């Protein structure tokens, strides 16, 4: 069969045209000048939950959210006076009402066509739910990156300026204490001790703030464990980290460290009836010490300090890194778990 010449028009019969409309991936509606629906394709029906027979012959406002129907009638009449190919609601987020009353965000384009009942309008309706969800995820990612950058800056400023100034202040107070009168020296010593505690707390903040930017970091994982535990404990455990823990804890040790922390906090939640708990992770030379202290009821019997799968797991993980785990407890005076391992 010879191909038609470029200037020849290809005439499609009604069945081909209807099939093309029905198979369109976008929802299609045809309305007359009064807003009566003359045609709705399969995609439009799937999108809205209506059958075509429920839509055809009814007003287009059936698909418009109730609080915008009056406004839509006025806009539709204005379009009928000056019909043209254009997007609908440029710059706005439009919605279509489903049969169940819910709404779906849509993008709509309008085109006038001539039909047996005069000028009609064909509306192409596209569900943009996934696009909006992707855009929301992208915004969340950008906000998270911006927040991480700000937290990294704060951590850097704390380390580079605040810590150094506090350290210098402590040295000055120590020097004054040597020359101070006997009644003043103890007060200066107390002030130096307080500065030392503040420095340790800031170092912990630097560790957790800086780690927030590094997705999957040890600091981030420790923070997640504490947040999860707080929901079970009913309070947030205090955290103190000292030393270059993030840099020195490698992939071989990290899973056992975090698993042991989870196990120890789970024991606090299960047995201690505590109202306070603290976690200290200190790295000195090649030894990493993790202490979990609580103010709970303690362990009533010495044998209970070595029994139970939880404590056995803690000891086994420590032994795997040439370390040990001890439990100190007295009835009514809380429990302290000390988990010590070699790093490197």
Give SS3 for 297. Answer: coil
Cβ–Cβ < 8 Å for 124, 109: yes
Which of 90-94, 102-106, 187-191, 304-308 holds the top average pLDDT? Answer: 102-106
The C-alpha atoms of residue 296 and residue 273 are separated, in whole angstroms, by 5
The yes-or-no verdict on residue 160 having pLDDT over 80 is no
Residues 50-60 pLDDT 10s: 999 999 999 99
Distances (CA, A) of 126 to 100, 119, 189: 19, 23, 72
User: In this structure, are strands 27-31 and 118-127 parallel, antiparallel, or unpaired?
Assistant: antiparallel
Higher pLDDT, 320 or 91: 320
Residues 185-222 pLDDT 10s: 777 777 877 777 777 777 666 665 555 444 467 888 89
Which of 108-117, 150-159, 317-326 holds the top average pLDDT? Answer: 317-326
Distances (CA, A) of 44 to 28, 72, 114, 152, 333: 6, 19, 22, 49, 69
- Count Cβ atoms below 10 Å from residue 183 Cβ, excluding itself: 7
**Domain range 216-344, CATH class:** alpha beta
**What integer best gives the mean pLDDT of the chain?**
82
Provide the pLDDT confidence category of residue 97 given band limits of 50, 70 and 90.
Answer: very high
Which of 28-42, 112-126, 202-216 holds the top average pLDDT? Answer: 28-42
The C-alpha atoms of residue 264 and residue 292 are separated, in whole angstroms, by 7
The C-alpha atoms of residue 177 and residue 170 are separated, in whole angstroms, by 10
| Domain ranges, ordered by start, for the chain | 14-127, 129-214, 216-344
The yes-or-no verdict on residue 93 having pLDDT over 80 is no
Cβ–Cβ < 8 Å for 93, 72: no
pLDDT > 90: percent of the chain: 36
Provide the pLDDT confidence category of residue 330 given band limits of 50, 70 and 90.
Answer: confident
- Homologous superfamily in CATH for domain 14-127: PAS domain (3.30.450.20)
Residues 219-271 pLDDT 10s: 888 988 888 888 878 898 999 998 888 888 988 899 899 889 988 988 888 77
Dihedrals phi, psi of 119, to nearest 5 degrees: -75, 125
pLDDT > 70: percent of the chain: 80
Looking at the DSSP bridge assignments, the partners of residue 86 are 110
Higher pLDDT, 177 or 337: 337
Residues 294-316 pLDDT 10s: 999 887 654 444 555 568 889 99
């Amino acid at each position: 069969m010879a191909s038609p010449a470029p200037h020849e028009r290809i005439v499609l019969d009604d069945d081909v045209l209807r099939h093309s409309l029905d198979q369109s991936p976008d929802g299609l509606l045809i309305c007359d000048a009064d807003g009566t629906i003359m045609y709705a394709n399969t995609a439009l029906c799937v999108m809205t939950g209506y059958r075509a027979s429920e839509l055809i012959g009814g007003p287009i406002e059936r698909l418009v959210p109730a609080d915008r129907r009056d406004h839509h009638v006025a806009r539709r009449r204005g379009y009928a006076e000056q019909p043209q190919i254009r997007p609908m609601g440029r710059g706005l987020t439009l919605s279509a009402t489903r049969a169940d009353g819910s709404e779906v965000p849509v993008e709509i384009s309008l085109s006038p066509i001539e039909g047996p009942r005069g000028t009609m309008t064909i509306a192409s309706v596209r569900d943009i739910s996934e696009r909006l969800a992707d855009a929301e995820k992208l915004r969340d990612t950008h906000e998270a990156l911006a927040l991480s950058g700000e937290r990294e800056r704060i951590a850097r400023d704390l380390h580079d300026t605040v810590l150094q100034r506090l350290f210098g202040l402590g040295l000055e107070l120590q020097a004054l204490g040597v020359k101070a009168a006997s009644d003043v020296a103890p007060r200066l010593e107390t002030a130096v001790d307080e500065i030392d505690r503040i420095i340790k707390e800031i170092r912990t903040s630097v560790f957790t703030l800086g780690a927030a930017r590094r997705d999957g970091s040890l600091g981030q994982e420790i923070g997640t464990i504490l947040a999860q535990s707080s929901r079970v404990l009913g309070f947030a455990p205090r955290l103190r980290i000292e030393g270059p823990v993030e840099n020195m804890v490698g992939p071989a040790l990290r899973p056992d460290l975090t698993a042991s922390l989870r196990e120890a906090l789970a024991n606090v939640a299960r047995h201690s009836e505590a109202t306070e708990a603290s976690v200290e992770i200190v790295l000195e030379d090649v030894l990493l010490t993790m202490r979990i202290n609580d103010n709970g009821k303690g362990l009533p019997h010495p044998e209970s300090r070595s029994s139970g799968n939880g404590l056995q797991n803690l000891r086994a993980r420590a032994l795997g890194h040439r370390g040990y785990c001890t439990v100190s407890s007295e009835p009514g005076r809380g429990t302290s778990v000390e988990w010590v391992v070699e790093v490197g």
